[in-house]
Amino acid sequence: MEISELGEFGLIDHLTKDLKTVNSSTLRGVGDDCAVLRNKDTDILVTTDLLLEGVHFDLTYVPLKHLGYKSAVVNFSDVYAMNGRPRQITVSLGISSRFTVEHITELFSGIRLACELYGVDLVGGDTTSSRQGLVISITCIGEAPAEKIVTRSGAKDTDLVCVSGDLGSAYMGLQLLEREKVASAGRKDFTPEFGGKEYLVERQLKPEARRDIIEALDAAGIVPTAMMDISDGLSSEMMHICKDSNVGCRIYEDRIPIDYQTAVMAEELGMNLVTAALNGGEDYELLFTVPLHTHETVSKIPGVKVIGHITKPSLGCAMITRDGTEIPLKAQGWNPLKKD
Amino acid sequence: MEISELGEFGLIDHLTKDLKTVNSSTLRGVGDDCAVLRNKDTDILVTTDLLLEGVHFDLTYVPLKHLGYKSAVVNFSDVYAMNGRPRQITVSLGISSRFTVEHITELFSGIRLACELYGVDLVGGDTTSSRQGLVISITCIGEAPAEKIVTRSGAKDTDLVCVSGDLGSAYMGLQLLEREKVASAGRKDFTPEFGGKEYLVERQLKPEARRDIIEALDAAGIVPTAMMDISDGLSSEMMHICKDSNVGCRIYEDRIPIDYQTAVMAEELGMNLVTAALNGGEDYELLFTVPLHTHETVSKIPGVKVIGHITKPSLGCAMITRDGTEIPLKAQGWNPLKKD
C-alpha cells in the first residue's frame, strides 16, 4: 500500500495501534504534543522533530542560523503546548559533504541562541555524515507539575476556544520567499523584495514559541482544559482537540486573528485569506480551550483572542462565516507524506 | 574548514565548547553515553541515535525488521552503559517514496519487538517524507537511582578493565555481508554463503544490548567505576574512558575475547584479527572498570572477562601483545564524518 494513501496520521495510527506500555513511569505515549513520563509529582515531557532538507527547509533562502533557531523553537513550542517548560534538548545532525565547519557552527549558533533565550540546556546528540543534504533531529525534554499538564483531550461543552497571536502569516512568508526564489533564479545581482512584508518573512524564518502566553495564563490562574500548538493549521489542530476530547466546536471567521501584512499578501497572490489562516500551518501559536467562566480574565491577556466555543460532539466542528453560514472544518493541514 | 579535518568528536567539541547549562535538573550534558537529568533521587538518562540509509545501513542485505530491532537496541545499549534501565523511546522516520506501508510496518515490527523484549515503551516520534532514502532517529529515555549512575570518568589507578561477550564479530559479519553483496551483483539466482558463519551475521544484523551483564553486576553488588558500550571499537572507547577519567591503562592482547568464527573469517579475508577486535566497532558489548578487590566476584560473572587494568595517567594507554611488546592504543574507530 502506498504511504500517501494513509497520510502521516493514518500511518502513525497503523503503526502504533495496540501499542501497550509496561513502565509505570509512562503516563501518556503517542498522540499528543509530547509524551508524558511521571516521576514522583513532576511530569517529564518528551517531544521530537525530524527536519529534512528539501522537505522541511530550502537553504536557498533559509539562513542556517535561522534554521537552527527554528528547529529548536518548534520543539519548545510542543512542550509549552502541554503547559510545560522546556529544559533540555538533544540535537542530531546528518551532514553532507558540501557543508563546512563554519556552516555547521552557524546552524548551531542558532540552536544555542534559542536555548539561551528559552533557558534550555543542550545535553547531547549524534553527529554523522549524510549522503544527501542536511538532516536535523531534535528531541526536547520538558517538565511540569503533574497537576498542570494540559493534553488535547480535556475540552468540554461550553468551553471557550482561544488562540494566541495571529494566523497565516508564516504561510504567507513562505509564499513570499518562494516567489522571490523563483524571481531570483539564475540572477546574481538579485535583491529580494520584502519591503513592508518583513513580519511575514520573520514569522516563517524565525518563529517564537509562546512562553509568554503560558506564563500569562499561569499568572492569571488559568489552566486550559485542552491545548495544542498550531503547526499544521488551525483547522487541523481544532479537529484534533475535538476528536480527542469527544466534543464539537464553533469558531467564528470574523474572530480569527489575521495580521494586516498577511491580508495584503493574500490579496497580492490572489489567495483566500481565511483558507491561509485555517490551513497555512507553521504558526506555532497556541490553540486552547478554557472554562466559560474565565471569559473576562482570558480576554484581558494580551495576544489571546477568543475565537469560538466548544459544543456537544453531535454538532461537529464548524466555522461560522461572516455572513452566518456554517462550514464544516476540514483538516487540510500540511501532509508531509503526500505524493510530490 | 572541511568537517573531515575535525572528525566527529572534533566537530562535537568545537560546537559544544563553552556550553553552559542553566537548569538545575541538568546534571550532565554532552560527553557520555547519555545525558543525565536529575529528578529527586531518580536520574533520567537520555540518548539519541541518527541512522541514515547509505551511511549506517544498506538495505541490500539488511532486512527492515532487523534494522528496526537494531536501531532500538543500540539506544538501549547506551542506557545500560550508564548502569540505567531503558524505559521509553521516541521514533522519528523520514521515508522516501519507494517505501510502502508494508515496508514501514516491517521496520516498526522490529522496533516493537525490541521494545517488548527489553520492556521499553514507544511513546512518540515524528513521521515525514524524505528525499534521501530512509532516515531513522531514535531517542531513548532511561532511569537509574542517582547513586547507581556510572559515567566514563570514574576509572581509578589499579581498577580492573573488563569487557562483556566477544569483540570483532559484528565487524566480521559486515565484511561477510559486503562480500556476498559484491558476489551477488547482477545475479538473480544468488544464494549468499553464510554456512558456519551465522553468528557473525547475527552479530551485525541483530545485536543485543547487555542487560544481562548489568543485572548480573547488580546482583553481585558491583557498581563499575566507569563504563561505556563499545560501538566504535574497544581501542577508541578505552581511550575515551582513560581521557575522561584522567588515567592510563594496560590491556592484554591474549585476554581480548574473540569468537572462533571471527578468527576464521579474519583468516579467510587476510585481515589482522586483533585489529578487527580493537577497532571493528558495533560490538555493543560493555567496557567497564571495577575496583581491584572485586576481582574474584567479577571474574565469576558469565560473559565477563578481565582484559587489563587502569594505571596512572603518565603511563598512557597501551596494549601488551602476546610477545610482551607494548603498543600504544590508537582510536581508529569508525569515523562517520570521514571523507568517502
Percent of residues, chain B, with pLDDT higher than 70: 97
Give, for all 340 residues of chain A, the pLDDT tens digit: 887 787 777 877 888 887 788 888 888 778 778 888 887 778 899 999 999 999 999 999 999 999 999 999 999 999 999 999 999 999 999 999 899 999 999 999 999 999 999 999 998 888 899 987 999 999 999 999 989 999 999 999 999 999 999 999 999 999 999 998 988 887 878 888 888 899 999 999 999 999 999 999 999 999 999 999 999 999 999 999 999 999 999 999 999 999 999 999 999 999 999 999 999 889 999 999 999 999 999 999 999 999 999 999 999 999 999 999 999 998 775 555 554 3
Indicate the pLDDT class of residue B337, thresholds 50, 70 and 90.
low
Alpha-carbon gap, residue A91 to A93, rounded angstroms: 7
Tell me the residue length of chain B.
Answer: 340
Cell of residue A66, nine digits: 535561522
Chain A interface, best mutation among B21, B48, B118, by max A CB count within 10 A? B48
Contacts of A100 in chain B (CB under 8 A): 1-3
Sheet strands side by side (includes A26-28):
A26-28, A35-39, A42-52, A135-145, A85-95, A121-129
pLDDT at A23: 82
Question: What DSSP line would sit under B251-296, residue for residue?
Answer: EEGGGS---HHHHHHHHHHT--HHHHHHH-----EEEEEE-GGGHH
Taking only residues 72 to 91 of chain A, the set having a beta carbon closer than 8 angstroms to any beta carbon of chain B reads 87-88, 90
- The per-residue pLDDT for range B111-128, each reduced to its tens digit, is 999 999 999 999 888 889
Pairing of strands A326-328, A304-311: unpaired
- Please state, as a whole number, how many other Cβ atoms lie within 10 Å of the Cβ of residue A313: 15
**Residue type for position A176:** L
Q: Is A12 close to B50, i.e. CB distance below 8 A?
A: no
Q: Is A11 close to B104, i.e. CB distance below 8 A?
A: yes
Query: For the ranges A90-104, A206-220, B24-38, B238-252, which has the lowest average pLDDT?
Result: B24-38
Q: Is A126 close to B11, i.e. CB distance below 8 A?
A: no
Chain A interface, best mutation among B3, B47, B335, by max A CB count within 10 A? B3
Q: Is A108 close to B2, i.e. CB distance below 8 A?
A: no
Contact, A137 vs B136, CB < 8 A? no
Measured over the CA atoms of residue A97, residue A98, residue A101 and residue A107, the dihedral's sign is: negative
A109 CB near a chain B CB, below 8 Å?
no
A47 CB near a chain B CB, below 8 Å?
yes
Q: Is A336 close to B97, i.e. CB distance below 8 A?
A: no
Q: Is B122 close to A42, i.e. CB distance below 8 A?
A: no
SS3 (DSSP) at A113 = helix
**Residue type for position A69:** Y
pLDDT at A335: 54
A3 CB near a chain B CB, below 8 Å?
yes
Query: Which residue from A minimizes the CA distance to B43?
Result: A39
Alpha-carbon gap, residue B176 to B192, rounded angstroms: 10
Choose among B41, B144, B42: nearest CA to B84. Answer: B144
Q: pLDDT at residue B339 above 50? A: no
Check residue B244 and report its DSSP letter: H
pLDDT at A119: 93
* β-bridge mates for residue B128, sequence order: B94
Q: Summarize chain A as % helix, strand, coil (round to 5).
A: 40, 25, 35
Cell of residue B36, nine digits: 543525565
Count CA atoms within 13 Å of residue B266 on its CB side. Answer: 19
pLDDT at A70: 97
B146 CB near a chain A CB, below 8 Å?
no
Contacts of A143 in chain B (CB under 8 A): 25, 39
SS3 (DSSP) at B140 = strand
What is the distance of C-alpha A281 from the center of its chain? 7
Alpha-carbon gap, residue A193 to A187, rounded angstroms: 14
A229 CB near a chain B CB, below 8 Å?
no
Question: What is the pTM assigned to this prediction?
Answer: 0.91
**Location of C-alpha cell 495571529:** A166
A53: left (phi over 0), alpha (psi -120 to 50) or beta: beta
Cell of residue B33, nine digits: 553515553
In this complex, the residue of A53, A132, A135 whose CB is nearest that of residue B50 is A135
Contacts of B94 in chain A (CB under 8 A): 50, 52, 55, 135
Measured over the CA atoms of residue A109, residue A110, residue A111 and residue A112, the dihedral's sign is: positive
Alpha-carbon gap, residue A337 to B80, rounded angstroms: 35
Taking only residues 276 to 315 of chain B, the set having a beta carbon closer than 8 angstroms to any beta carbon of chain A reads none
CA distance A123 to chain B (A): 4
Q: What is the largest CA-CA distance in chain B?
A: 61
pLDDT at A295: 97
Q: Is B30 close to A1, i.e. CB distance below 8 A?
A: no
pLDDT at B340: 39
Query: Which residue from B minimizes the CA distance to A100?
Result: B2
Contact, A54 vs B135, CB < 8 A? no
- Please state, as a whole number, how many other Cβ atoms lie within 10 Å of the Cβ of residue B109: 15
Contacts of A2 in chain B (CB under 8 A): 100-101
- The per-residue pLDDT for range B289-321, each reduced to its tens digit, is 999 999 999 999 999 999 999 999 999 999 999
CB pairs under 8 A between A and B: 268
In this complex, the residue of B14, B46, B129 whose CB is nearest that of residue A90 is B46
CA distance A155 to chain B (A): 22
Measured over the CA atoms of residue B112, residue B117, residue B118 and residue B119, the dihedral's sign is: positive
Q: Which residues contact A340 (CB under 8 A, 6 or more apart)?
A: B97, B129
Contact, A173 vs A203, CB < 8 A? yes
Q: Is A123 close to B56, i.e. CB distance below 8 A?
A: no
Q: Which residues contact B227 (CB under 8 A, 6 or more apart)?
A: B81, B82, B83, B150, B151, B152, B286, B287, B288, B289
Cell of residue A109, nine digits: 549558533
Question: What DSSP line would sit under B47-93, residue for residue?
Answer: EEEEEEBTTTB-TTTS-HHHHHHHHHHHHHHHHHTTT-EEEEEEEEE
What is the distance of C-alpha A326 from the center of its chain? 26
Alpha-carbon gap, residue A109 to B15, rounded angstroms: 8
Chain B interface, best mutation among A8, A53, A139, by max B CB count within 10 A? A139
Q: Is B131 close to A53, i.e. CB distance below 8 A?
A: yes
In this complex, the residue of A15, A46, A131 whose CB is nearest that of residue B90 is A46
- Please state, as a whole number, how many other Cβ atoms lie within 10 Å of the Cβ of residue A32: 25
Alpha-carbon gap, residue B94 to A49, rounded angstroms: 11
Count CA atoms within 13 Å of residue B179 on its CB side. Answer: 15
- B21 versus B161: the higher-pLDDT residue is B161
Residue B195 class from Cβ within 10 Å (0-12 exposed, 13-18 middle, 19+ buried)?
A: exposed
Q: Is B39 close to A44, i.e. CB distance below 8 A?
A: yes
Sheet strands side by side (includes B42-52):
B26-28, B35-39, B42-52, B135-145, B85-95, B121-129
Alpha-carbon gap, residue B275 to B266, rounded angstroms: 10
Q: Summarize chain B as % helix, strand, coil (round to 5).
A: 40, 25, 35
Q: Is A23 close to B137, i.e. CB distance below 8 A?
A: no
SS3 (DSSP) at A107 = helix
Q: Is A92 close to B37, i.e. CB distance below 8 A?
A: no
SS3 (DSSP) at B136 = strand
Alpha-carbon gap, residue B182 to B180, rounded angstroms: 5
> Which ipTM was obtained for this model?
0.90
Residue B201 class from Cβ within 10 Å (0-12 exposed, 13-18 middle, 19+ buried)?
A: buried
Q: Is B336 close to A42, i.e. CB distance below 8 A?
A: no
| Long-range CB contact pairs, B186-192, < 8 A, 24+ | B192/B61
- Measure Cα distances from A31 to A46, B124, B266 in Å: 12, 7, 48
Measured over the CA atoms of residue A238, residue A235, residue A209 and residue A334, the dihedral's sign is: positive
- The per-residue pLDDT for range A261-279, each reduced to its tens digit, is 999 999 999 999 999 999 9
Contacts of B19 in chain A (CB under 8 A): 112, 122
Instruction: Tell me what the pLDDT averaged over chain B comes to.
Output: 91
- B252 versus B187: the higher-pLDDT residue is B252
- Measure Cα distances from B287 to A119, A163, A181, B148 in Å: 35, 52, 52, 17
Indicate the pLDDT class of residue B201, thresholds 50, 70 and 90.
very high
Chain B interface, best mutation among A121, A132, A229, A339, by max B CB count within 10 A? A121
pLDDT at A340: 38
B131 CB near a chain A CB, below 8 Å?
yes
Indicate the pLDDT class of residue B78, thresholds 50, 70 and 90.
very high
At CA B49, angle to CA A97 and CA A68, rounded to 5? 55
Contact, B288 vs B155, CB < 8 A? no
Q: How far apart are the two ends of chain A, measured CA to CA in Å?
A: 17
